[in-house]
Structure 1
Amino acid sequence: MTHNWARQDGGAWVLSLYLQPGAKKTEVAGLHDGALKLRLAAPPVEGRANKALIAWLADWFDVPRNAVVLENGELSRHKRVRINGSARHPDALLAEA
């Protein structure tokens, strides 16, 4: 079951995310406006939230950090991220919400 926030593109997953930086801990917070909402423990300062997002996704999808590409939304809460070469299905992220 794939939602409109996650789609497969060849060997990659493309995710639509909505971020809430500056949270107490990094966690999945469910769905928000057609995107997967993530709370990030990092502040939205000097790219720290983006770096934390990439590190967290790389860890969760069990891929190297360079396999996680921020395609869109560098300065926005709405982001599109491509994850290359992961065997994990993004629907499992919702189970953590």
Structure 2
Amino acid sequence: MAATGYAWEGATDLILQVRVQPRASRNEWVGLQEDQFRVRITAPPVDGQANMHLRAFLADLFGVAKSQVTLLAGEKGRNKRWRIIAPEQLPPGIESDRSRCTTRRKPNTTTVEQCKPAKP
């Protein structure tokens, strides 16, 4: 994976490198730092709670169901690799196939890209 922290696999799947900070004061997409995205979550790293919490956070961030977010590597570490299947929206720092996405701004939040599902 390049220094971008992500790679597109096929036409729809996004592979994402994440460094997670558990037990943070709030859930937050920090952005790209070095070669991975940094994410803060409130859950503790106990009995898989942080992974479940991060999965739900990523699903909401990318506008997909939790079933479309899969942990590929890093189950017990802070550095993780996730697969997001057909993301509906993209947070800052992730570029897409512009032909299927439009940029919009949510009130009082960051700018996101809204993406149509890719045709199979």
Q: TM-score range by the shorter chain?
A: 0.7 to 0.9
Alignment CA distance shift 1:30-1:86 (3 Å): closer
Q: CA deviation at 1:6?
A: 1.2
Over the matched positions of the two proteins, sequence identity in percent amounts to: 35
The reply on whether 1:4 has 2:15 as its aligned counterpart is no
Structure with a larger share of its residues in helix: 1
Q: CA deviation at 1:86?
A: 1.2
Q: Which moved more, 1:75-84 or 1:57-66?
A: 57-66
Q: CA deviation at 1:53?
A: 0.4
Q: CA deviation at 1:90?
A: 4.3
The CA RMSD over aligned residues, in Å, is 2.1
Q: Which residue of 1 aligns with 2:39?
A: 38
- Distance in structure 2 (CA, Å) of the matches to 1:26 and 1:52: 9
How many matched pairs? 94
Q: Which moved more, 1:30-39 or 1:75-84?
A: 30-39
- Distance in structure 2 (CA, Å) of the matches to 1:37 and 1:73: 14
- Distance in structure 1 (CA, Å) of the matches to 2:55 and 2:21: 14
Q: Which residue of 2 aligns with 1:75?
A: 76
CA offsets 1:41-60 (integer angstroms, 9 cap, x no match)? 00000100000000001111
- Distance in structure 2 (CA, Å) of the matches to 1:61 and 1:92: 13
- Distance in structure 1 (CA, Å) of the matches to 2:77 and 2:24: 16
- Distance in structure 2 (CA, Å) of the matches to 1:4 and 1:92: 8
Q: Which ranges of structure 1 fall in alignment gaps of 5 or more residues?
A: none
- Distance in structure 1 (CA, Å) of the matches to 2:3 and 2:24: 25
Structure 2 length-normalised TM: 0.70
The reply on whether 1:17 has 2:18 as its aligned counterpart is yes
Tell me if structure 1 keeps the 8 A contact 2:62–2:89: yes
